[in-house]
Chain A
Amino acid sequence: MQGNIACAEGALAAGCSFFGGYPITPSTEVAEHMARILPKKGGTFIQMEDELASISSIIGASWAGARSMTATSGPGFSLMMENIGYAVMTETPIVIVNIQRGGPSTGQPTMGAQGDMMQCRFGSHGDYSTIALVPSTVQEMFDLTAKAFNLADRFRCPVFLMSDEIIGHMREKVTIPEEVDIIRRRPLKEGKLPFEPEDDMIPGFPEFGKGYRVHVTGLTHDERGYPEATNCELHSELVTRLVNKIESKRHEIADYDIINPQAEIVFITYGPPGRAVRQLMHDYSDLEIGHLNLRIVWPFPEKVLKEFPNASKFIVPELNMGQMAREIQRHTSIEVESLPKIGGEMHTPDELFRAMGGDS
């Protein structure tokens, strides 16, 4: 099964019933598959006029109670930025799939990249936090897409599946479970105001059509949902909560694999470069190489860096010019070496070997 199809299947298994999108290489197969399957399952597929409308449509669908998703790539992702902030401010659970290609601008439509890792974290204006998952196999495309919906519903925020052309267009064997865990958003409790947080800082969800009359706005709002845009204290409280409801749980959200934690040289990866590291470890099984592979990169679980007590160097191969390497650097006193690669091709195991100081 192709990666993009596995992504769509993961969404369907998770109960996604609304897809709004605009086709763009290399993500189009996600939309194609959703268009083929969703109507048969009683769901809705809509091709919007552009990516601004696409993300607006999934925000609306989410307020009507649907698990909703869109899929895009670089240029479309840029167009979605404004309403990603709107989803953050209105605490709307949505899943945004970005099958990354080479940028800036229209760049390399048919080549893989990981150049949007900072954009998914900081791309919309203002302070906020997000959750981003990165698969490195076609199986993980399925698993992590399904998981993204649970995270979106739990934290009431946009969740990003930050894949790339390499995994999106690759075909591998996928085992589809009989059913996936579905944990839906918590409904608003009787007597609570629509934006009144519970103990975990997250308000219950007042679904449209269930008897609630809710005002939903991107303006700074009180717990009723009414604009209070000049109240300094309220704004500070609201935005701090939007950040902390996610950041305070970052070690619980974390999802990663650790191999050889006693090693001195440690590779840190997310997505395709992890597979080059695994191959390197396989080809040079006598070398002590540590590996941390992240499946969730945002929020960044910095405590995991402490799992390598002997580390003298972290090497970070990425399909960009060193985006997460900088994030890692700010959390550790250990040397961090960025190993950037752009142009559309993966690092080869030999390139990683040379980065370790090896002579191949």
Chain B
Amino acid sequence: MRNEVLFSGFGGQGIILSAVILGRAAAIYDNKFAVQTQVYGPEARGGASMSAVIIEDEEVLYPKVRNPDIYVIMSQQGFEKYGVNAGAKARMLLDSGLVFSRPECRYAEVPATETAKKDLGRVIVANIIMLGALVTATEVVSKAAIEMAVMDSVPKGTEQLNMDALNAGFGLGENCEV
């Protein structure tokens, strides 16, 4: 089983961190194999940021995404650059407040940024909400694994905020049919 998860959004949303956390959850806590890569160039600063994770039960040979089966899109520009290429069999989670286009593949609308602002008072945790929704909507990693990976990755003093965000995401993802 190989999952290729592609994240895109704008700089500052934590797109790359999201992929790092997902990869850590899979590789360290679900004891699978994972490779995380990213578009590193200056065009990613201010434009569409992109990061990807490959998760496999066996050693990951080819480390670059070839045909993502899961997309997490958090900006309109990210959709236009990466989301539009989604294959018919792909699944996509969209931040419904920030992405106006809709793909031809299966998708779910996740109001991550809106929930972060209104319910948690901190827009910065939108990516963690999205990660929670990703996990319950697709089961690409276990809930326990993503919880531990988030705790490893967030700054001291923000653990509760991030757990609240992750749980809010779990709730949003459970209602998604993708």
Contact A169 B40 (CB under 8 A): yes
Contact B35 A110 (CB under 8 A): no
Contact A172 B34 (CB under 8 A): yes
Closest residue to A26 on the B side, CB-wise?
B40
Number of interface residues of B (CB under 8 A): 19
Give residues of chain A (331-360) contacting chain B, Cβ–Cβ below 8 Å.
345-346, 348-349
Which of A110, A166, A171, A282 is within 8 Å of B61, CB to CB?
Answer: A282
B84 at the interface (CB under 8 A from A): no
B58 to chain A minimum Cβ distance, whole angstroms, is: 9
Residues of A within 8 A of B38 (CB): 169
Q: Which of B20, B38, B40, B41 has the most CB of A within 10 A?
A: B40
Q: Which of A165, A166, A172 has the most CB of B within 10 A?
A: A172
B111 at the interface (CB under 8 A from A): no
Closest residue to A169 on the B side, CB-wise?
B40
Residues of A within 8 A of B23 (CB): 171
The stretch that binds A, out of B62-70, B154-162, B170-178, is B62-70
Question: Binding site of B, secondary structure by majority: helix, strand, loop or mixed?
Answer: mixed
B133 at the interface (CB under 8 A from A): no
Contact B62 A276 (CB under 8 A): yes
A272 at the interface (CB under 8 A from B): yes
Give residues of chain B (88-107) contacting chain A, Cβ–Cβ below 8 Å.
none
Contact B40 A165 (CB under 8 A): yes
Residues of B within 8 A of A213 (CB): none
Closest residue to A108 on the B side, CB-wise?
B41
Closest residue to A136 on the B side, CB-wise?
B63
A184 at the interface (CB under 8 A from B): no
B18 at the interface (CB under 8 A from A): no
Which of A172, A348, A349 is within 8 Å of B60, CB to CB?
Answer: A172
Residues of B within 8 A of A241 (CB): none
Closest residue to A346 on the B side, CB-wise?
B64
Q: Which of B28, B35, B62, B66 has the most CB of A within 10 A?
A: B62
Give residues of chain B (4-49) contacting chain A, Cβ–Cβ below 8 Å.
20, 23, 27-28, 33-38, 40-42
Question: Binding site of A, secondary structure by majority: helix, strand, loop or mixed?
Answer: mixed
Contact B66 A173 (CB under 8 A): no
Contact A349 B34 (CB under 8 A): no
Contact A275 B61 (CB under 8 A): yes
Contact B63 A170 (CB under 8 A): yes
Contact A278 B37 (CB under 8 A): no
- Measured between alpha carbons, how far is A172 from B28 in the docked complex, in Å? 10
Contact A169 B37 (CB under 8 A): yes
Closest residue to B32 on the A side, CB-wise?
A173
Which of B28, B33, B35 is within 8 Å of A170, CB to CB?
Answer: B35
Contact A172 B62 (CB under 8 A): no
B42 to chain A minimum Cβ distance, whole angstroms, is: 7
Closest residue to B58 on the A side, CB-wise?
A282
- Measured between alpha carbons, how far is A282 from B57 in the docked complex, in Å? 14
Closest residue to A281 on the B side, CB-wise?
B61
B19 to chain A minimum Cβ distance, whole angstroms, is: 8
A26 to chain B minimum Cβ distance, whole angstroms, is: 7
- Measured between alpha carbons, how far is A345 from B40 in the docked complex, in Å? 12
Residues of B within 8 A of A272 (CB): 63
- Measured between alpha carbons, how far is A348 from B62 in the docked complex, in Å? 8
- Measured between alpha carbons, how far is A241 from B66 in the docked complex, in Å? 49
A292 at the interface (CB under 8 A from B): no
Contact B20 A171 (CB under 8 A): yes
Which of A110, A169, A282, A349 is within 8 Å of B42, CB to CB?
Answer: A110
Residues of A within 8 A of B60 (CB): 172
- Measured between alpha carbons, how far is A279 from B35 in the docked complex, in Å? 14
Residues of A within 8 A of B41 (CB): 110-111
Contact A173 B63 (CB under 8 A): no
A120 to chain B minimum Cβ distance, whole angstroms, is: 23
Question: Can you add 10 more A-B contacts, CB < 8 Å, to A169-B40, A346-B63?
Answer: A110-B40, A169-B38, A172-B27, A172-B35, A172-B63, A173-B27, A173-B28, A276-B62, A346-B62, A346-B64
Top 10 closest pairs, chain A to chain B, by CB: A279-B62, A110-B41, A171-B36, A278-B61, A279-B61, A173-B27, A110-B40, A172-B35, A275-B61, A170-B37
Residues of A whose CB lies within 8 Å of any CB of B are 26, 110-111, 165-166, 169-173, 272, 275-276, 278-279, 282, 345-346, 348-349
